[in-house]
Chains A and B, each alone.
Chain A
Amino acid sequence: MTDTNGFSLTRRGALVSGVAAASTTALPLDAQPLPAEARAATVPVSFTVNGKKRALDLDPRVTLLDALREHLHLTGSKKGCDHGQCGACTVMVEGKRINSCLTLAVMHDGDEITTIEGLGKPGDLHPMQAAFVKHDGYQCGYCTPGQIMAAVAMLQEVKDGVPSYVSTDLTAAGRIDAQEVRERMSGNICRCAAYSNIVAAIADVAGAEDVA
């Protein structure tokens, strides 16, 4: 997170120090180790995240989302429902968008993973990030990383000739309009309902990429 207003304490920092304060009066979470039968043998896994090779030794229960957030501290991908219904955890694996909450990290040995942190950065935004800013495509922002990852990968799907349920001709070349955007983005929920501006942002980028 880049400090843009001179206020050095981030929201995450505040939450962490809050937890630390609370734990002085309560038992630390690791005070009672799990019984042996409740622990699973760890499995080594290595993959590339945003161009960087990463090697982890994980309990097989760790989802890709938790590996990214809790083990690699890439907290841009969000945990909304944790059941593949909201899309907040959307990342790209081998260039394809998936719900990172519904896959185990150990299933991705050797894979190339892109998260919102790998798409662009402050001062050098990806065109989709810039379009979301320009069109005000969010309110609280929690779903935004997932929306942006899904939108970028979705436009690639259109270019690759993947049809949608609302495509009138299954065999025609990919084209995109507002109805297509809404259908193809239905796996991403926005609780603030910023949908009209999200559609405008995506359509803007789609036009620039000449798929309109």
Chain B
Amino acid sequence: MKPFTYERATSPAAAAAAVAAKPGAKFVAGGTNLLDLMKLQIEAPTHLVDVNRLGLDTIEATPDGGLRVGALVRNTALAADSRVRRDYGVLSRALLSGASGQLRNKATTAGNLLQRTRCPYFYDTNQACNKRKPGSGCAALGGYSRALAVIGTSKDCIATHPSDMAVAMRALDATVETVDGGGRTRTIPIADFHRLPGSTPWIETALTPGEMITAVTLPAPVRGTHIYRKVRDRASYAFATISVAAILPESGTPRFAFGGLAHKPWRVAAAEARLDGGAKAIAAAALAGATPTSQNAYKIPLVERTLAAVLAEGRAA
């Protein structure tokens, strides 16, 4: 690791101010992705602001019947919360499908949203990667792209966002609460939180420098069948090739969000209106305009087949 200085923050606003004031400074929460990248010198912060002891680790009921999840709530604690298990099953399942027991005990709600892609060319510092080194090119295009994105890509980046949790939060229409270095707070809909790569793939979220996530709010529960189905190369502890977060209400419009397809959790309103057409119609609408590589074109039929399995599970529930 490159040398860095370290401080323990005293409040969220002070933490945001500390990071905003120092070029190269970063927040550290669980640290499970940041330290991994620092050891490879893909991340090399000059200063770390530890935000672990700011009291942001509670899950509270909101006046409109939802839940406000503190930024520092660990993935295990969120997945195991009795209200989440009962009312937001898709979120609990998505969290439990990700990483390992040890990582879920450390990884946080905000950190999960901010984790970087696992594109092999991002991780290999000998390769070109516009995300790691802007302007260096994208070695994944024409390279080993089996696990990478099929839609929303650009000529500069075909990385996927690796989170399962974020896919469920996209289906739930969560909102992200932040504070910036000047103490100003705002909320960002999850749909607008992660960005498509475009020509600036190194800018991954809507956050401004020094802006810190303080909580993620879940709206009142959507009753119905909650399913998170993850397809991967091994049975556990692997990233999704594709995943489907589905909420199937007894009546009304279903919700489908997809992981493993794009630079952000992928959700298309037009696809949700095609339930009568079954998995084929939903998948076709969700993937309209997809530009897969020869190696990841298998994801297109896999989405339809996984949706068919999800709909069958929903009917059986």
Contact = CB atoms under 8 A, between A and B. Distances in A.
29 contacts: A39-B3, A40-B6, A59-B3, A60-B5, A61-B3, A83-B36, A83-B39, A96-B76, A96-B105, A97-B101, A97-B102, A98-B102, A99-B32, A102-B31, A102-B36, A102-B106, A103-B30, A104-B31, A107-B28, A150-B102, A162-B80, A163-B79, A165-B236, A170-B89, A170-B92, A171-B86, A183-B235, A185-B101, A187-B100
Contact of B3 (A37, A154, A187): A37
A106 B6 contact: yes
Nearest to A172: B85
A84 interface: yes
Interface string B191-206: 0000000000000000
A161 B80 contact: yes
B96 A63 contact: no
Given A103-B32, A163-B92, A171-B85, 10 more contacts: A37-B3, A60-B4, A98-B105, A102-B35, A104-B6, A109-B8, A165-B93, A171-B82, A186-B101, A187-B103
A183 B210 CA distance: 38
B101 A184 contact: yes
B105 A165 contact: no
Which 3 residue pairs spanning A and B have beta carbons closest together?
A: A187-B100, A186-B236, A60-B6
A60 B236 CA distance: 33
A109 B53 CA distance: 10
B52 interface: yes
Contacts of B236: 165, 182-183, 186
How many chain A residues sit at the interface, stated as a range, is 35 or more
B35 A154 contact: no
Contacts of B5: 40-41, 60
Contacts of A102: 31-32, 35-36, 103, 106
Nearest to B31: A103
Interface string A149-182: 0100110010011111101001100000000001
B3 A38 contact: yes
B45 to A, nearest CB: 11
Interface string A46-76: 0000000000000111010000000000000
B96 A164 contact: yes
Interface in B1-27: 1, 3-6, 8
A170 B52 CA distance: 28
Contact of B79 (A83, A99, A103, A162): A162
Interface residues of B, number: 38
B100 A162 contact: no
Given A83-B39, A107-B50, A171-B85, A90 B102 contact: yes
B48 interface: yes
B32 A84 contact: yes
Interface in B233-260: 235-237
A87 interface: yes
B92 A97 contact: no
Contacts of A157: 76, 101
Contacts of A182: 235-236
A170 B97 CA distance: 13
B252 to A, nearest CB: 23
A82 interface: yes
A163 B85 contact: yes
Given A60-B4, A83-B39, A154-B101, A98 B106 contact: yes
A104 B29 CA distance: 11
Contact of A103 (B1, B82, B106): B106
Nearest to A61: B1
A133 interface: no
B200 to A, nearest CB: 28
Contacts of A43: 6
Interface string B41-72: 00000001010100000000000000000000
B102 A87 contact: yes
B99 interface: yes
Contacts of B96: 163-165, 167
A49 B232 CA distance: 38
Contacts of A154: 101
Nearest to A164: B96
Contacts of A160: 80
Contacts of B52: 107
B4 to A, nearest CB: 6
A207 B199 CA distance: 56
Contacts of B48: 60, 104
A24 to B, nearest CB: 31
Contacts of A163: 79-80, 85, 92, 96
A40 B3 contact: yes
